Amino acid sequence: MTDFFYAIVYNGSGQLYGWQVILETVVIVVVTFFVIVFNILVIAVMMTTHGLQDVVGYYLVSLSVADLICGILITPLSVYPAIVQRWVYGDIVCKIESFVEIVLWSVTVYMFMWISVDRYLAVQKPSRYETASTVGRCKCWIAFSWLASIALSCPPLAAVSPANYYLEASVCVLDWSHMSAYSVTMAALVVTPSFITIGYTYVYIYVRITKYKWMTAEKKKECEWAPSSDPPYGNANHNLTCAITLAFVLSWLPWLLLQVYEKAAGPVDSPMVHFATMWLAIASACWKFVILVVMNSRFRKGLKHLCDGDR
């Protein structure tokens, strides 16, 4: 016990830690707490509130499960290494953590893609939406996404090269520089098709909404689809899912831009920049709850009932 408190206050050379280490540790603990609590609440509200158990609701539950696993298996392992400034759990745990990270990130990207496809169907084929996008098919796509993500993430586990401890951010990450073929495969099967689909579908949706607004009254009457506030077709659902997707993209964008910059111009000698951008990305797991509270009245009512203990 004495050694533990000594490790909290002193580093290996016996010198006091600076404010940066204390700040980083506090940030990790706070982010971990909110990731766990917020995603448990999202899952509980979605699964117990009438009107939220639709296709989008199940995709959001799957997203929340992935984020909850991150809050249970990934972020807590960063607390003690952040204090002692080294990885203390061994290479095997580091490699397993990297594997789980890839699985969860792949699942998350796939979920956002399926959500965007569902929104596209609600706008492009409203008369056939109920038959084209069913809860049964949604569950099949969720199962496929999890299984495909696990299968695609297995090669790093069998790789000879170990995962790296990202000291500046206090997390283990895959050493992509030694797995160029795998990097290309992941980009071709997960990243590229998913983000192209997400970009195309939301651009299509909002272009169509804009065109409808500029139609004459006669044209609006002839239009098969009209923006409304009713789910699953309405603007409220489109805006909600777009906001959640955008929050994820904007949270990860600074860290991704940092990686691109370092590849082009060399390493950035600022540990706090690496830490801030990485943990902003990890904190993307929290924004879903906040957006649902702000933008979805049914979610707010369900949350209130859950907190009050109503049935």
Among residues 43, 90, 95, the alpha carbon closest in space to that of 71 is found at 43
Q: Give 230 or 206, the one with higher predicted confidence.
A: 206
Among residues 63, 44, 60, the alpha carbon closest in space to that of 307 is found at 44
For residues 286-300, give the mean pLDDT. 93
| pTM for this entry | 0.87
Report the alpha-carbon distance of residue 81 to residue 73 in Å, rounded: 14
Q: Give 52 or 227, the one with higher predicted confidence.
A: 52
Q: Which domains does the chain have, with CATH numbers?
A: 2-308 (1.20.1070.10)
CB atoms under 10 Å from CB of 158, counted, come to 7
For residues 205-226, give the mean pLDDT. 68
Among residues 111, 121, 152, the alpha carbon closest in space to that of 248 is found at 111
Report the alpha-carbon distance of residue 65 to residue 163 in Å, rounded: 24
177-180-183 Cα angle (round to 5) = 100
For 174, which DSSP code? -
For residues 40-46, give the mean pLDDT. 95
219-277 per-position pLDDT tens digit: 655 565 555 444 444 556 788 999 999 999 999 999 999 999 998 988 888 889 999 99
Percent of the chain whose pLDDT exceeds 70: 84
111-139 per-position pLDDT tens digit: 999 999 998 888 887 778 888 888 899 99
Which residue do the tokens 């907190």 mark? 307
pLDDT value of residue 180: 74
pLDDT value of residue 23: 92
Range with the poorest average pLDDT among 47-56, 93-102, 216-225, 228-237:
228-237
**Res. 215 pLDDT band, cuts 50 70 90:** low
Among 9-23, 93-107, 146-160, 228-242, the range of highest mean pLDDT:
93-107
For 166, which DSSP code? E
